[in-house]
Amino acid sequence: MTDSAGAEDGAGVLVVATEVLRLLAESDETLAVAESLTGGMVAAELTAVPGASRSFRGSVTAYATELKHRVLGVDAQLLAAEGAVNAQVAEEMAAGVRRVLDASWGIATTGVAGPDPQDGQPVGTVFVAVDGPVGRKTARLRLNGSRAEIRRESARTVLELLSSQLRENARRQDTEQNGGI
């Protein structure tokens, strides 16, 4: 990526964060964030949006593996057996932060931004997850680029995954309110 593409990506994260907060506000729902490799980036993008406090509950940056268990309730045996870079870990982080911060939705990021592999996973391996009132959704990413680009793309992708779930949930509710039509 060029520097100009990187700047566009940074703006793209804010655009998606703004959309997420709009959708949450429209449905009177709240969001909590659990972050590992993104180190607070998702929360920073959300709180950069004016009025974020209406829907954003807070975040947990569980960078250390043991915090994923102690704070977010990720299964200790799973962490010991598989490591922190795992789809189920991302799901449990999202569910845990949702529970701990009493939010309608929880999202999570875990992965390897570099410079070195972690838990047997190569740099650029990332898992993002959404946990909400209609279930869970997880995505595995295989990203290329610098550490900063991997972190930024991870933040954008988890917000896009949530945005998609929020739109789907809104359509489902509209259909139910219109008698299934």
For residue 158, pLDDT beyond 60: yes
* Residue at 178 is within a domain: no
The pLDDT of residue 170 is 86
Fill in the amino acid letter for 46: L
The pLDDT of residue 11 is 72
What is d(CA 60, CA 8) in angstroms, rounded to the nearest whole number? 27
* Number of neighbours of residue 63 by Cβ within 10 angstroms: 15
* Residue at 66 is within a domain: yes
* Residue at 143 is within a domain: yes
* Residue at 181 is within a domain: no
CATH of the domain at 158: 3.90.950.20
When pLDDT is averaged across residues 158-167 and rounded to a whole number, the result is 97
The pLDDT of residue 5 is 36
The pLDDT of residue 178 is 64
Q: Rounded to two decimals, what is the model's pTM?
A: 0.91
The pLDDT of residue 181 is 59
* Residue at 73 is within a domain: yes
When pLDDT is averaged across residues 166-171 and rounded to a whole number, the result is 90
Residue 123 contacts by C-beta under 8 Å, 6 or more apart in sequence? 112, 113, 114, 115, 116, 117, 150
What is d(CA 2, CA 61) in angstroms, rounded to the nearest whole number? 29
**What rounded mean pLDDT belongs to the chain?**
92
Q: Pick the closest to residue 135 from 168, 86, 160 (CA basis).
A: 168
Strand, coil or helix: 138: strand
The pLDDT of residue 163 is 97
Q: Pick the closest to residue 36 from 117, 128, 120 (CA basis).
A: 128
For residue 2, pLDDT beyond 50: no
Fill in the amino acid letter for 96: G
Q: Which two tokens stand for residue 85?
A: 């870079």
* Residue at 176 is within a domain: no
Banded model confidence at residue 174, pLDDT cuts 50, 70, 90: confident
When pLDDT is averaged across residues 76-96 and rounded to a whole number, the result is 98
Fill in the amino acid letter for 128: V
**pLDDT tens, position by position, 40-73:** 999 999 999 999 999 999 999 999 999 999 999 9
* Residue at 133 is within a domain: yes
Total structural domains in the chain? 1
| Containing structural domain, residue 66 | 3-169
Q: Pick the closest to residue 45 from 19, 6, 25, 75 (CA basis).
A: 19
**pLDDT tens, position by position, 124-157:** 999 999 999 989 999 999 999 999 999 999 999 9
Proportion of the chain in helix, strand, coil states, percent, rounded to 5: 50, 20, 30
* Residue at 110 is within a domain: yes
